[in-house]
Amino acid sequence: MKITLDPIGIVSTDVEKIPRHWTVSVAEGDLIINNSYIEGLREIQTGQRLYVIFHFHKSPEFSPEYIRIKPQVSDKIVGVFSTHSPIRPNPIGLSILEVLSVNDNVIHVRGLDMLDGTPILDIKPATDP
């Protein structure tokens, strides 16, 4: 069974050296969401943290050689599901980002670890269930 998704928006940033992970990033940028979803963003507030689910659109296709890998921050080879490697069976990323401001369909965020042009798949509140 295949599942097909359509991005809800795109990441825009002029930071050239994007940190490897949101836990160590203060890079800023915008989540530009399609205008058709603007009413879904209205309660998002400055200071809030968001789960942002996105597509690793620049990753090579997954193959068995990527099942066990050496993370950048470790000397040990481990299973892909114990890492946040961008090369995974389904090329989906998850970042927790801080909202700096919201203007219409543009959410300005801090903590980016996504490249400029990254397709955004979903946004959820990181704190409130």
Q: Least Å distance between CB 80 and a second copy?
A: 4
Q: Considering beta carbons, is residue 53 or 115 the nearer one to a second copy?
A: 53
Structure tokens at 113: 């670890």
Nearer to a second copy among residue 28 and residue 119 (C-beta): 119
71 — phi, psi (to 5°)? Answer: -60, 150
Residue 28: alpha-carbon gap to chain centroid: 13
Query: What's the rounded Cα separation, in Å, for the pair 128 and 88?
Result: 28
CB neighbours (10 Å) of residue 36? 9
Minimal distance, residue 71 CB to a second copy, in Å: 9
Cβ 14 to a second copy shortest distance, Å: 22
Contact residues toward a second copy (CB under 8 A) are: 1-8, 21-24, 36-37, 39-44, 51, 53, 55, 64, 67-68, 73, 78-84, 88-92, 94, 119, 121-125, 128-129
